[in-house]
Structure 1
Amino acid sequence: MPEIRLQQLVKRYGAVEVLHGIDLQMAENEFTVLVGPSGCGKSTTLRMVAGLEAVSDGDILMNDASVKNLDPKDRDIAMVFQDYALYPHMNVARNMSFSLRLKKTPQATIDKKVREVAEMLGLSPFLDRKPGELSGGQRQRVAMGRALCRDAGTFLFDEPLSNLDAKLRGQMRAELAVMRQSVKKNMIYVTHDQIEAMTLADRIVVMHGGHIQQQGTPSELFKNPANKFVAGFLGSPPMNFLAAELKDEDGTLYAIGDGFALTLPTDLAERARKNAVSSAILGIRPSDLEYNAAGSDTASIDLNVVVSEYIGAQSVLICECGNARVTVEIKSETPIALGETLRFSVRPEGLHLFDHKTEDAI
């Protein structure tokens, strides 16, 4: 399992530069997820690692050896594509064993490997079926099985679940997580779905506009986003953002805006004072607002309920705070009425500040 490094990786299509000097190091046996909106450069990065796109500038290193000029077949990688890319005339067993047969692996070894991988992925009953006789989820498992049979040092996944419906995507996500525990390989996974990123990754790399915005563990990025983009991209429902002025009164720093005045926790207040911030964007996650009719004025915010979305054990409220919209997560049994103004306590650790010009975290 090689250590993979991208050094000042640049990709241009003619005069248009779509990747702007990407630096990234992926440790051995790490599940790295590249996540971001469409057009951010994540799939291009993956295809450059695979050798399917040429490198314009920079380098790709595996165990300190450059591979940027190697053919895909010489890079010790296996790739799972969004559209499965299965041979329709071959059954599951032959699709899975294709790379082994190309290498003229002994038939006994092929049969053993296919049985092992099929058992792991729950494909044993389907080995004699053609892809057209399988469901979308089963076909995706066959595509994964083909990669696993190849036994490469690095597995690349290019949005493998995006063609599946929501329920099946959730099931496949769970199967991927289980497979990850038994397959000790480098895995680089591309998705635009932040839930996939949060649930699968050892490390998330958030990309936007051809740049890496932040990288780290899911917990690090969720709790300490580097900027407003990362804060708004990770988390469902997304973080709320409110324009605020910061005012210091009697040693206490307040964030004051249209319809709210909140006391900032000590560590956040110290950072704001150190950076001489007078106005900022205040970020609050929906899960960090808690219904509390008796909450204090300086640790609470009053919201007028506009819409209530029932999603089972939880409900999502869309509320008004002055001229802004604020989303809140509450337990569904909480008694609320549309048009009602409710008071919500704000967890101090759930407050974030972002510079209103650079949008970097304060």
Structure 2
Amino acid sequence: MTGRDGGEAGLPRITFDKVEKSYGSTLVLPPLDLTLEDGEFTVLVGPSGCGKSTTLRILAGLETLSGGEIYFDDRPIGKLEPKERDIAMVFQDYALYPHMNIARNMSFALRLARAPKSRIDSEVNRVAEMLNIAHLLDRKPAELSGGQRQRVAMGRALVRDAGTFLFDEPLSNLDAKLRAKMRTELAEMRDTIDKNMVYVTHDQVEAMTLGDRIVVMNAGMIQQQGTAEELFANPVNRFVAGFIGSPSMNFLAGEITADRVQGQGFDLPLPPGLAERAGARAVEVGIRPSSIVLEGGAPIQLRVIVSEYLGAQSVLVTRCGNVDVLAEIASVDRIPSGQTRDFGVRTEEIMLFDRATGARI
């Protein structure tokens, strides 16, 4: 394998070439091929155990390769020590030194490298101002909130001025409100810092908010990669369709008959050409909650089980046959629980998936 020429100096194109990871006889990461462009914010997303953190740790040098190679541009780095890879990492648990104040925590790597004191002070102050923690530099980690500690952990990485930054689920220990605020700050940081950033999360909202490119993983394999818009509008299989989007997509078992799809509790027309592509096979019908409407569309009768008021929007948990179906409606149209009523489905937004393979038709 020969790597491609990279972009600007210090920002390598990162290439995984048939990278594998095994623990004993257990293969947790099958041969993986992935290229991360220079200056890109890439998000690895998927459920617990899908291999995303293992991939990040292999890139950082915290896990050894069982097979394949990683390249920074044309340079193989699989056998290099972590300190030789020009990488800074932000962990889920902050990993701050409790006996050091914030300034010393942030400057640790530069002090270890014996950088001049003037440079250390300049870099710490610059990054602290950017992250709005300049007023905390004399405090100890125990005196800070979770959000402030996470900013310090990010600041420690940024002070290093590495070419590539790795984030391993950095927001998962924060409460929902603080997580949303930190997502905004990360998005701002992404737009102002020209670095490679690789971010691991199980939260698809974080992925869709932050990623220039999202890599969806399951069982150690890449299912699909692309922008949030591409993954939402054109998922390649049932897994991606169900994982990307909130509330998640509904799936109903159905059979194709002429130009319609039928199943327990529904009989819906299909967009032109879709029935022909599907042929006579068992399918799963994918319907986004936002594709279920109160007026218009193809009729479907649903029984409302729970109405979840979320402010401007309400999410209805309804039942079609014996399957729960989510519908997203404006809260002004709130419907009480227990009612059975007619809804509509925007049939042009229906997706079909092969029931045996999960592939999109």
Q: Same fold (TM over 0.5)?
A: yes
Residue equivalent to 1:221: 231
Aligned letter for 2:127?
A: V
Distance change (3 Å), C-alpha of 1:151 and 1:335: closer
Aligned letter for 2:356?
A: K
Between the two proteins, what is the percent identity of the paired residues? 62
Q: 3-state SS of the aligned residue for 1:43?
A: helix
Matches within 5 A, 1:314-353: 314-353=313-352
* Counterpart-to-counterpart distance in 2, 1:284 and 1:335: 20
The correspondence for 2:146, drawn from 128, 136, 139, is 136
The answer to whether 1:254 aligns with 2:257 is no
Aligned letter for 2:282?
A: S
Aligned letter for 2:143?
A: E
Residues 262-271 or 91-100, more deviating: 262-271
* Counterpart-to-counterpart distance in 2, 1:162 and 1:139: 13
The correspondence for 1:284, drawn from 283, 287, 308, is 287
Residue equivalent to 1:55: 65
Query: C-alpha displacement at 1:270, in angstroms?
Result: 4.5
Query: C-alpha displacement at 1:337, in angstroms?
Result: 2.6
Q: 3-state SS of the aligned residue for 1:266?
A: coil
What TM-score, normalized to structure 2? 0.95
Superposition RMSD on alpha carbons, in Å? Answer: 1.2
- Could you tell me whether the CA contact under 8 Å between 1:154 and 1:185 is conserved in 2? yes
* Counterpart-to-counterpart distance in 2, 1:90 and 1:267: 65
Residues 260-269 or 112-121, more deviating: 260-269
Aligned letter for 2:51?
A: G
Residue equivalent to 1:357: 356
The correspondence for 1:201, drawn from 203, 208, 211, is 211
- Could you tell me whether the CA contact under 8 Å between 2:256 and 2:275 is conserved in 1? no
The answer to whether 1:265 aligns with 2:271 is yes
Query: C-alpha displacement at 1:137, in angstroms?
Result: 0.4
Residue equivalent to 2:28: 18
C-alpha distance after superposition, 1:41-92 (max 9, x if no partner): 1100000000000000011010121100000000010000011011111111
Residues 336-345 or 301-310, more deviating: 336-345
- Could you tell me whether the CA contact under 8 Å between 1:228 and 1:361 is conserved in 2? yes
Aligned residues: 351
- Could you tell me whether the CA contact under 8 Å between 2:71 and 2:77 is conserved in 1? yes
* Counterpart-to-counterpart distance in 2, 1:64 and 1:263: 52
Matches within 5 A, 1:148-159: 148-159=158-169
* Counterpart-to-counterpart distance in 1, 2:78 and 2:273: 45
- Could you tell me whether the CA contact under 8 Å between 2:29 and 2:51 is conserved in 1? yes
- Could you tell me whether the CA contact under 8 Å between 2:268 and 2:347 is conserved in 1? no
* Counterpart-to-counterpart distance in 1, 2:25 and 2:257: 47
Residue equivalent to 1:115: 125
Residue equivalent to 2:309: 310
Aligned letter for 1:350?
A: E
Query: C-alpha displacement at 1:322, in angstroms?
Result: 1.4
Query: C-alpha displacement at 1:144, in angstroms?
Result: 0.3
C-alpha distance after superposition, 1:120-174 (max 9, x if no partner): 1001110111111100000000000010000000000001011111111111111
- Could you tell me whether the CA contact under 8 Å between 1:247 and 1:278 is conserved in 2? no
Residues 125-134 or 327-336, more deviating: 327-336
C-alpha distance after superposition, 1:20-60 (max 9, x if no partner): 01110000111111111111111000000000000000110
Query: C-alpha displacement at 1:267, in angstroms?
Result: 4.7
- Could you tell me whether the CA contact under 8 Å between 2:250 and 2:287 is conserved in 1? yes
Aligned letter for 1:87?
A: Y
- Could you tell me whether the CA contact under 8 Å between 2:307 and 2:334 is conserved in 1? no
* Counterpart-to-counterpart distance in 2, 1:12 and 1:315: 45
* Counterpart-to-counterpart distance in 1, 2:280 and 2:63: 44
* Counterpart-to-counterpart distance in 2, 1:290 and 1:45: 41
* Counterpart-to-counterpart distance in 2, 1:20 and 1:218: 25
Query: C-alpha displacement at 1:192, in angstroms?
Result: 0.7
Which blocks of at least 5 consecutive residues in structure 2 are unaligned? Answer: 1-10
